Amino acid sequence: MPPQFSMLEFTDGINMVTFNLQYRFLNESRFTPYVGAGWALPRPMLRSPTFR
C-alpha cells in the first residue's frame, strides 16, 4: 500500500437498492402460481483516509 494511505477498508456489500415486482395468478385450484422479477443496484463502499 502506498505510504500516504494508513488504511483501506471494504464493507460487506449490504448497501443495495432493489426493485421487485410479483404477480399472483388467481385461480380456483389448490396451487397458486407466482411470477416475479427484480433488479438490484449494489453500492459498494470504500473508505481510505489519506493521512496517517
Taking the C-alpha atoms of residue 38 and residue 17, their distance in angstroms, rounded to an integer, is 11
Does residue 1 lie within any of the structural domains?
no
What's the predicted TM-score (pTM) here?
0.45
Does residue 30 lie within any of the structural domains?
yes
pLDDT tens-digit map of 13-46:
567 889 999 999 998 888 999 999 999 988 776 6
Cα torsion 9, 10, 12, 14: sign: positive
What is the pairing mode between strands 16-24 and 34-42?
antiparallel
Q: What is the distance in angstroms between the CA of the first residue and the CA of the last residue of the chain?
A: 13
Does residue 37 lie within any of the structural domains?
yes
Does residue 7 lie within any of the structural domains?
no
Does residue 50 lie within any of the structural domains?
no
Domain with 35 in it: 15-43
Where residue 1 falls among pLDDT bands split at 50, 70, 90?
A: low
